[in-house]
Structure 1
Amino acid sequence: MMEKPNLNYLKEISGGDIIFEKKMLEIVKKELPEEIKSYKNFIELQNYNQAAEIVHKIKHKISILGLEKSYQVAIDYEEELKKKNIDSKVQFENILKVMVNFISKV
């Protein structure tokens, strides 16, 4: 079962600063779709090193959304991509779908 995104970690690092939380969410909402588009483009071009760089950026957003297990998947996938291996692709892309769905509702 997929873990569900939450704002627990964001609330923890913000120390209750609502403005900070809103700014962080706005950054995620703005950057994540762009990064996903770049990631998919690099995968299509089989440019796995560039894809790994995008996964690295997305990894931070995964942690902001409290997805601890997914964060580990992203770490592993980033390393796989550097070796031109895409075994975790489906699992990683499912995480992206869950994140996009979540941020569209917060």
Structure 2
Amino acid sequence: MNEQFDYVDLSYLEEISGGDVSFKKELIGIFLTQIPEFVTNMHRFLTKNEIGDLAKEAHTAKSSVLIFMMEKTGKMLKQIQLLAEKNSTEQIPSLINEVETDLANASKELSGYLKKL
């Protein structure tokens, strides 16, 4: 199954799964479950000014998106993490919104792919 996607790249997933469909399904399922949690938590931590927790959440989310080769999203999450660590929050809301859009689009792509597995 060699599909082209706009937001995700499955080459790393293919590599680490060794073609094991159940493993791919499991990783995609975990990611799809985590996406709303990441976004909700980042918004909540920013609103409550829990900046340390925001930095940690961005770091965790970054690790997850990189499995699906979402380099642009990973860079934005790293930027959120670094800005939060510096307590420089001015740019963070727009970055979170961009990340949220990318994650929603990735979720649609991965959900569609999952149905075909």
Smaller-chain TM-score bracket: 0.7 to 0.9
The aligned residue for residue 52 of structure 1 is 55
Shift of residue 92, structure 1, vs aligned partner: 4.0
Give 1:20-59 correspondences, 5 Å limit: 20-59=23-62
The aligned residue for residue 114 of structure 2 is none
- Determine if contact 1:5/1:99 at 8 Å carries over to the other structure: no
| Superposed CA offset, 1:33-71 (max 9, x none) | 122111111111111111111111111121022112322
Percent identity of paired positions between Structure 1 and Structure 2: 22
The answer for unaligned runs of 5 or more in structure 1 is: none
Q: Does 1:99 align with 2:108?
A: no
TM-score normalised to structure 1 length: 0.83
The number of aligned residues is 104
Q: Which of 1, 14, 19 is the aligned partner of 1:16?
A: 19
- Aligned-residue CA RMSD in angstroms? 1.8
**C-alpha separation between the residues in 2 aligned to 1:52 and 1:24?**
23
The answer for unaligned runs of 5 or more in structure 2 is: 1-5, 112-117
Q: Which of 69, 86, 97 is the aligned partner of 2:72?
A: 69
Higher gyration radius (CA): 2
